[in-house]
Amino acid sequence: MRLISRYGDITGFGSLIGNRQQFVIKPACGAGGRGVLVIAANTRDGFVLANGTVLSTADIEHHLASILSGLFSLSGHPDKAIVEARVMPHVAFSEIAVGGTADIRIVICQHVPIAAMIRLPTAESRGRANLHQGAIGVGIDIATGKTTTAVHHNRKITHHPDTFSPVSGLSIPHWQQVLHIAGRLSHALQLGYVGVDIVLDANHGPMVLEANARPGLNIQIANNQGLLKANSHTLAVPESTILQV
């Protein structure tokens, strides 16, 4: 991972990337998926995004300047740009994650998971797993790790709009490990309420993407139930999965 914090560093972007083929650029203090670029290939013609759009080096440098200016930051204050490796999508999601990588959000209250969903990128979301950008939110039963109800733009769906593959009734790989990682992180951060985002890398398995101190409440819509009701079902989760850190 590299951090670009000064405008003078932008001109060195080409040297920073070198021949690296796939990477992600995102604002350090962004929100709602704004300002995130998923680079799928580095070619002679330019940088190819996950949706096939080609950007020149000048385009990338302009985007980095926009990030530093605070255009995408939650507060509007000057920001920093993070350049990090792109997670390689897990084969389990090959038919339901279009142009990008699915991510799993676990909402934890007092170190106990109370709701979970998987966010699936679409052609509309340009490979980003963010609901505000057009990704799909699919609820996950915490006790079993199986997907339940799904929504796209807050409307219930049963199949991915691009691949037409079913999105409900699927088992999330490494589910107990995902819960354990989220629980450990909540203890480490000492936050009473936190949303932990985890991705499944094809080579490395579950990896922490980020933690959100103010996770959105769309997870309730994806699960078709409020957090209070979801919390009543967490007793079905083995305590050792979450609380042993």
Task: Identify whether the C-beta of residue 211 lies closer than 8 Å to the C-beta of residue 81.
Answer: no
Amino acid at 199: V
Q: For residue 104, what pLDDT is reported?
A: 97
Which residues share a beta bridge with 152? 136, 155
Element (H, E) at 177: helix 175-189
Is residue 83 scored above 70 in pLDDT? yes
Q: Is 167 helix (H, G, I), strand (E, B) or coil?
A: coil
Tokens for 220, please give them: 């309730």
Q: Can you tell me the distance from the alpha carbon of 184 to that of 194, in angstroms, rounded to the nearest whole number?
A: 12
pLDDT band at 243 (very low <50, low <70, confident <90, very high): very low
Task: Identify whether the C-beta of residue 120 lies closer than 8 Å to the C-beta of residue 222.
Answer: no
Task: Output the pTM of the full model.
Answer: 0.73
Q: For residue 50, what pLDDT is reported?
A: 73
Say if residue 14 is exposed, middle or buried (CB neighbours under 10 Å; 0-12, 13-18, 19+): exposed
Average pLDDT, the chain: 88
Task: Identify whether the C-beta of residue 80 lies closer than 8 Å to the C-beta of residue 89.
Answer: no
pLDDT band at 229 (very low <50, low <70, confident <90, very high): low
Is residue 236 scored above 50 in pLDDT? no
Write out pLDDT tens, residues 88-111. 889 999 999 998 889 999 999 998
- Tell me the torsion sign for CA atoms 91, 93, 99, 103: negative
Q: Which residues of 93-119 are buried (b: 16+ CB within 10 A; e: fewer)?
A: beebbbbbbbbbbbbbbebbbbbbbbb
Lowest mean pLDDT among 114-118, 126-130, 198-202: 126-130
Tokens for 218, please give them: 């769309």
Rama region for 99: left / alpha / beta (φ>0; ψ in -120 to 50; rest): left
Q: Which residues of 36-46 are buried (b: 16+ CB within 10 A; e: fewer)?
A: bbbbbebeeeb
What radius of gyration do the chain's Cα atoms show? 18
Q: CATH 3.30.1490 region(s) of the chain?
A: 2-85
Q: CATH 3.30.470.20 region(s) of the chain?
A: 91-243
- CATH code of the domain made up of 91-243: 3.30.470.20
Amino acid at 89: P
pLDDT band at 231 (very low <50, low <70, confident <90, very high): low
Classified by CATH at the fold level, domain 2-85 comes out as Dna Ligase; domain 1 (3.30.1490)
pLDDT band at 186 (very low <50, low <70, confident <90, very high): very high
Is residue 67 scored above 80 in pLDDT? yes
Write out pLDDT tens, residues 25-41. 999 988 777 898 989 89
Q: For residue 152, what pLDDT is reported?
A: 96
Nearest partner of 120 among 80, 152, 144, judged by Cα = 152
Pairing type for strands 2-4 and 23-27 reads: unpaired
Percent of the chain with pLDDT over 70: 93
Q: For residue 230, what pLDDT is reported?
A: 58
Mean of pLDDT values over 135-141:
96
